[in-house]
Amino acid sequence: MYSPSEVIYRCRRCGDLLSVEYDADLMRPETAKKWRGRSLSVWRYAELLPISDRSKIVSLGEGGTSLNRCSRLGSELGLKEVYVKNEGENPTGSFKDRGMTVGVTRALELGIKIVACASTGNTSASLAAYAARAGLECVVLIPSGKVALGKLIQAMIYGARVIQVKGNFDDALKIVEELCLTQPIYLLNSINPYRLEGQKTIAFEIWDQLDGRVPDEVIVPVGNAGNISAIWKGFRELYSMGLIDKLPRMIGIQAEGAAPIANLIKMGLKEIEFVENPETIATAIRIGSPVNWKRAVGAIKDSNGFAETISDEEILKAQRLLASYEGIFVEPAGAASIAGLIKLVKNGLVRQDDLIVCIATGHGLKDPDIVLRQFPKPVEVEADVNTLMKLLSS
């Protein structure tokens, strides 16, 4: 057990990652009574977030994302109740904002002046925004040439120092962790347990939005594996508090070319085999050595869940399906949960009347190039209504 006043990311004895735990007297149904009447957002659940001085909260209005019942998608797949939690609605367009509002507030509490992260794009966009809001310096390391343009632009405009690393995300994370261990710079990757506390509110919101019902399955795209671990922690806390009497099965989805966790689980390997050169068009989950892998495997196994891999082609198909059937435009990594669901249905791994929630992790506009490449150029007409009518009737 370590004190909250320490800046520490890993256990000094075993090197494993740390997690935030709360006093037993908070883990009661009474705590949730305080949440009523507050708007749906990360900070609705303030009692179960590890911040002592609420006057310092750095917020951009994160959380409170919609949980869309997707009837058209559901009937296409022969499923009764499918929901998509649209995390693209967060202030910088991804679920990372839930973690950053807590992590950057924590940085202020600690009197930190500089924050840093390695990123496949969304973490840097989010950290840069929250650092700007808090008046902190921000350093972000990204894999050279492998970050979607929309995300890169975000980090730049928010004023972060953006550094491209000649290597992949795993290489960037390794050096930024080393940097933060020796310098007064606060690391805000998902090895920081405060960040995951913010992200666990996805589970709290789902519970609230379903009026206390618990999904049978929660399907999550997995990269560094922080988010699936955080969401599972959220559901476990609701369970410990006596607010729910069952837990969902956690389903982790990885891209075929970057699937160390899914391979471990699917193939029943004895040890995890990290992927040295991960590859996928879903750049946000192009990660070969997920730092949170142990927690994620724990979440999947403890929940009686499972993991699946999907091809890039399946990701793009799911992205289009979700947009054209439900009006929800997500980036490729965000569509991984939908692609995963389609595969689970094909393989008979979910039941027709299951209550299923897919987490759509990031907004589609972050990576428009990938979509543009798949469509022909729109037709051009003269500015003449007759020509237009002729075209429409053809």
Ligand X SMILES: Cc1ncc(COP(=O)(O)O)c(C=O)c1O
Question: Can you give the binding site for ligand X, defined by CB under 6 A?
Answer: 94, 120, 122-123, 190, 221-227, 284-285, 331, 333-334, 361-362
Return the bridge partners of 221, or none.
Answer: 253
CA 360 to CA 356: how far, in whole Å? 13
Which residue has its beta carbon closest to ligand X? 362
CA-nearest of 14, 154, 175 to 92 is 154
Q: How far is the CB of 386 from ligand X (least distance, A)?
A: 45
* Both tokens assigned to 277: 């050169």
Helix (H) or strand (E) holding 235: helix 226-240
Q: Which is nearer to ligand X, 95 or 204 (CB)?
A: 95
CA angle 357, 154, 324 (to 5 degrees): 40
Q: Which is nearer to ligand X, 44 or 96 (CB)?
A: 96
Q: Which is nearer to ligand X, 180 or 243 (CB)?
A: 180
Q: How far is the CB of 291 from ligand X (least distance, A)?
A: 9
CA-nearest of 152, 100, 83, 88 to 331 is 88
Q: Which is nearer to ligand X, 192 or 224 (CB)?
A: 224
Q: How far is the CB of 222 from ligand X (least distance, A)?
A: 5
Q: How far is the CB of 295 from ligand X (least distance, A)?
A: 10
Q: Which is nearer to ligand X, 191 or 243 (CB)?
A: 191
Lookup result for tokens 């690393």: 165
Q: How far is the CB of 221 from ligand X (least distance, A)?
A: 4
Q: Which is nearer to ligand X, 215 or 362 (CB)?
A: 362
DSSP assignment, residue 330? B
Q: How far is the CB of 199 from ligand X (least distance, A)?
A: 7
* Both tokens assigned to 323: 């947009």
Helix (H) or strand (E) holding 141: strand 137-143
Lookup result for tokens 């689970």: 344
